[in-house]
Amino acid sequence: MAMTSEISIAGILASSAISACFLQLCTLPLDTAKVRLQLQKRAAEGSGKYKGLLGTVATIAREEGLLALWKGIIPGLHRQCIYGGLRIGLYEPVKAFLARSYYVEDGSLFTKVFAALVTGAIAIALANPTDLVKVRLQAEGKAGTLRRYDGAFNAYYTIVKQEGLAALWTGIVPNIARNAIINAAELASYDHLKEIILKLPGFTDTVLTHLIAGLGAGFFAVSIGSPVDVGCQVKNDGRFSIQEHLRLLFQNIEVRGTTCFL
């Protein structure tokens, strides 16, 4: 059994934040397309202008310019420094604490899931303002249309000025639910899959092992988190309630079927 990492908690938090920021830079265009697809208002007589993930990317690039795909990058990096750093960096210490052991592999699957739920909830509770601003900037349309914000810092200021400080935590309940669930699905499945793979003949703790476990973890995270993600569209508005969250989720299912999760 391997001992808990000798890297300090500060080092783990920093490395987690840096890797999360790099991931954000690479994947933000797809995330922007996902936000536009989920927020798209479908006309009664037909579908909206965005069609499919790659089609949405192409439409945004053509109508708004290539850089529009990176809308929300500043709050996105803010988010990853806080959320990415905490959810990953605190996972091993929390898991070890819950397992009442310094040998982190001794934790059961339940311990892994619970530790990831806790770290995901803590991380997004602190990062919710950055998440809110990122999604609002991503949701804004092409130049020439009405814009509420001139950038990330202007968005923070405008939201606080017009809606109050508490507005930065709009949608905090579904956001905690979503991110805690996704974090549990991702980190716990990655951790567990890696242990299973390492027990197979010929596999050692290499990049290939981490890659396979990561692919499996990504699949579980998207599959489990997508239904909650659809309902979290409501956080772009200035209002929120659990009832509104559930209403929006079931309305999407009723109108579009299970394809609303894709």
162 and 191 fall within a common domain: no
Q: Tell me which of 170, 200, 221 is where a domain ends.
A: 170
Quick: pLDDT tens for 82-132: 999 999 999 988 888 887 665 545 568 888 999 999 999 999 999 999 999
> Quick check: is 1 in a domain?
no
Number of structural domains (the chain) is 2
Q: Rounded distance, CA 58 to CA 98, Å?
A: 46
The residue segments making up the domain with residue 176 are: 172-261
177 and 147 fall within a common domain: no
106 and 188 fall within a common domain: no
104 vs 26, higher pLDDT: 26
Question: Over pLDDT 70: what percentage of the chain?
Answer: 76
Quick: pLDDT tens for 35-88: 888 777 544 444 678 888 889 999 999 988 999 999 889 999 999 999 999 999
Q: Tell me which of 130, 155, 170 is where a domain ends.
A: 170
24 and 124 fall within a common domain: yes
> Quick check: is 3 in a domain?
no
Residue 190 has pLDDT above 50, yes or no: yes
Residue 163 has pLDDT above 50, yes or no: yes
29 and 71 fall within a common domain: yes
259 vs 72, higher pLDDT: 72
Q: What is the pTM of this model?
A: 0.73
Give 154's contacts (C-beta < 8 A, 6+ positions apart).
Answer: none
Residue 168 has pLDDT above 70, yes or no: yes
Q: Tell me which of 170, 197, 227 is where a domain ends.
A: 170
- What number is the average pLDDT over the span 158-165? 95
55 and 145 fall within a common domain: yes
Q: Give the highest mean pLDDT range of 2-6, 153-157, 203-207.
A: 153-157
207 and 251 fall within a common domain: yes
Count of other CB atoms within 10 angstroms of residue 102: 11
Q: Report which residue type is found at 158.
A: T
Q: Rounded distance, CA 240 to CA 224, Å?
A: 23
> Quick check: is 4 in a domain?
no
From the number of C-beta atoms within 10 Å of its C-beta (0-12, 13-18, 19+), residue 119 rates as buried
Q: Residue 43 sits in a domain of what CATH number?
A: 1.50.40.10
